[in-house]
Amino acid sequence: MTIIQLGALPEAFAALKGGSVQAAVLPPPFSTEAMRQGMVQLIDFNQSDIEFIGVGLTSTARFVSTHDDVTRRVVRALVEGIWAFKGNREATLRAIEKYTRLTDRNLLEETYQSNRKVVRLAPRTTEAAVRNVLEALADQNPKARGANPQDFYTNRFIDDLEQTGFMRELAARYPDALR
């Protein structure tokens, strides 16, 4: 099997639809449209117990150590965006519609619900998720096999948001996010 990078999700969907690849990892709304067109979902990663980092906020250790306040503010804004996403369904649906250019209400709803299930209010990185990424990279990069997962992430900024009461503040501002 050969795994190739196809670009963004629209390109991956187009390649699958056009027959130039036999499988692609597609989240809603692309997965929904693929199934509407008769394709078959092989794995629903949202329903699996596999921890893996697919998308994350990433920086260099040097930048984080020299720009602590900037990093803290970016993480804070991202977390507040997550709470707003989960806590204000209609505004979120309008944003999804705007940025995906979709108008099909069912596709918009499925996209929202699918993402709402997997996005955590406190987006912590786990050691298991990093370990699984390292294992996946080990064949291409032997150094990954012996690497310590804890060297690749920090939850310090999320911990700070919880300890300062910011998460409680968000819970009061976006109560629907907890439902």
How far is residue 140 from each of residues 13, 68, 133, 144, 145, measured CA to CA in Å?
Answer: 26, 33, 12, 9, 10
- Has this prediction a pTM greater than 0.85? no
What's the CA gap between 62 and 74, in Å, rounded? Answer: 16
Residues 47-99: tens digit of each pLDDT: 788 888 877 899 999 999 999 999 999 999 999 999 999 999 999 999 999 98
Nearest to 78 by CA among 138, 144, 157: 157
φ, ψ of residue 7 in degrees (nearest 5): 110, -145
